[in-house]
Amino acid sequence: MKNRHLAGLIGVLIVLGLTVFAYRWWYLQVPLLPGQTQDSWTVEANLQFNATTNPVSAQFYIPRNPPNYSLLDEQFISRGYGVTTALENSNQLATWSIRRARGQQSIYYRAIFYRNALNQPLMGLKIPSVTPAQFSDAQMPALEAIIAQTRSRSSNVRTFVTEALKLLNDPTDDNAKLLLKRDTSADNIAKTAINVLSHANIPAVLTYSIPLQTQKSATFIPGLFIHNGQEWIYYDPLTGQTGLPHHLLVWYYGDNIASAINQGGTQMQFSIAVTTAPINALELVEQRGIEMQSTLMQFSLFNLPLRTQQIYLILLTVPIGAFVILLLRNFIGLTTFGTFMPVLIALAFRETQLLAGIFLFSLITAIGLAVRFYLDKLKLLLMPRLTAILIIVIIIMLAISMLSFQLNLEKGLSIALFPMVILTMVIERMCIVWDERGAGESILSGVGSLIAASIAYLVMKNAYIEYLFFAFPELLLVLLGIIFWSGQYRGYRLTELYRFKSFLKRDSG
């Protein structure tokens, strides 16, 4: 009964921890590794024109909720223009206006996009009402022939569109030639396809995308979004392939031109430049949390002030260190001074590094022990004796710091970070054990503590583990579950094999 209770608790902790972990890793895409970067695309739309009369007003579309990409940052750059953005049909239209302007004008829109792996459904594109397009009398038989042929070869909207595009792209098909009027550009095929589909009562929207690859001037690539009653499906008008290619950033919908001068300008030139740069994946994560309004992300440690973050970066490694000590003590059977003393020594090792840390620790303990044995002769009471050892430990630390500074040994300075109260207690405990159980046992425990501290240090300073627990503090729940589980371990410790070796058979020992 009790065991089932504990097993349930362990299960809940581990499942909860892993669920939150999975959500943040997989859905919010918190990177698993520190310093992981992701490509981001800086897209710069530039509208140039010559201002002739006042006032001046110009406009162009800017991307709005493009599928597969998320906006990290956007800026509107111009000299003295006022900017407004407004929703026009399914598009975002930015309008620049200024009362007085003369000569060459240049206005910029710069946005940083990054790829999200969510494959979210197309958002914000309204389904247009379908009205049959006008065709000339000469074209009508061709249209009807194409629709009849397409219908016979297809079973649903998806295949209907594929077949229609296949026909329109067939250079030998006379009906297609008639409808296209010899213009076989992707743009024209797409527009014609929309008109053809309107007669089959299929809603279709023309869309213009830019390919995200480093370039000075991107050209718009036309595409079709077809609604099959449930969802939007992207079609490449030339190949008939479905699915929006991953490198395409949808810029706007509809058959308008992307930019326009409303008044006061001539010689308009519109260009879009694309550059790529790696950005820290963590920045993306933060942005993402805000964007998705995820409460889980708001509770991320990354939102804390930087100083506090740095403290937690270290503090969160303490449970790992404690877990390592647990393993060493309960499963291996290592004896140490104090339960968690090695964790604190390991924290000090962070600053001194391992070898210097072990050397300094041994040095202080050795000198401290010598002093402690001398103090024994003075017959002091416990508290005064402990205080005296504490002061002597600090004096030793001071001396080592000053000496190493004179010798230009940087490492020696970091000794100041050793937990001196802990050192004092270690020295006192070592001395008592020395007196009562002999030097051997005392040194054994001392070395055991040092080994435990070193192992804990090696695990705790591991950049991956440090980052992992900082980015995913919910892993502490998993750790807690594992610790609850290990609390049930009733098996032998490794060192008990040695202790009870007389019970082992000679031949296999």
Partner 1 sequence: MRSLFRQLRQAGILGINRRNGDYILRYNQRRHYPLVDNKLATKRLATQHNIATPSLYAEIRSEHDILKLPELLSQYSAFALKPAHGVGGDGIVVITGKMHDFWRKANGSLLTMTELAYHTSNILSGMHSLGGQPDHAMIEYCVDIEPVFADISYYGVPDIRIIVLLGYPAMAMVRLPTRMSDGKANLHQGAIGAGVDLTSGTTLGGVWHNDTIDQHPDTFNHISGITITQWDDILTTAAYCYDITGLGYLGVDIVLDRHYGPLMLELNARPGLNIQLANRTGLHKRLTAIERHVAQLGGDSEPVATRVAFSKNPAFASAV
Q: Which residues here bind partner 1, judged by CB under 8 A?
A: 330, 333, 379, 381-383, 432, 436-438, 441, 487-493, 496-497, 499-505, 508-509
Tell me how far, at minimum, the Cβ of 338 lies from partner 1, in Å. 11
Measured from the CB atom, the residue of 2 and 182 that comes closer to partner 1 is 2
Smallest distance, Å, CB 447 to partner 1?
17
Q: How far is the CB of 481 from partner 1 (least distance, A)?
A: 18
- CB-nearer residue toward partner 1: 89 or 486: 486
Task: For tokens 């040092």, name the residue.
Answer: 450
Report the residue number, 458 or 497, with the smaller CB distance to partner 1: 497
Contacts of 226 (CB under 8 A, 6+ apart): 157, 158, 161, 197, 202, 203, 204, 232, 233, 234, 235
In whole angstroms, the minimum distance from the beta carbon of 245 to partner 1 comes to 55
* Cα dihedral: 69, 74, 77, 82 (round 10): 110
Distance between CA atoms of 79 and 174, rounded to whole angstroms? 53
For residue 476, what are the CA distances in angstroms to 15, 29, 318, 345?
A: 12, 19, 11, 22
Q: How far is CA 214 from the centre of its chain?
A: 24
**In which residue are the tokens 């022990």 written?**
369
Min CB(374)–partner 1 separation in Å = 15
Least distance (Å) from partner 1 to the CB of residue 70?
Answer: 51
Q: Given the complex with partner 1, which of 216 and 501 has the nearer CB atom?
A: 501
Q: Could you tell me whether strands 248-253 and 232-235 are parallel, antiparallel, or unpaired per DSSP bridges?
A: unpaired
Quote the CA–CA distance of 84 and 79 in Å, as a whole number. Answer: 15
Q: How far is CA 37 from CA 158, 284, 289, 297, 441, in A?
A: 38, 9, 17, 19, 51
Token pair 């309107």 is at which residue? 198
User: Within 13 Å and on the Cβ side, how many CA atoms surround 356?
Assistant: 19
Closer residue to partner 1, CB minimum distance, 172 or 502: 502
Q: Which is nearer to partner 1, 257 or 504 (CB)?
A: 504
CB 433 to partner 1: min, Å: 9
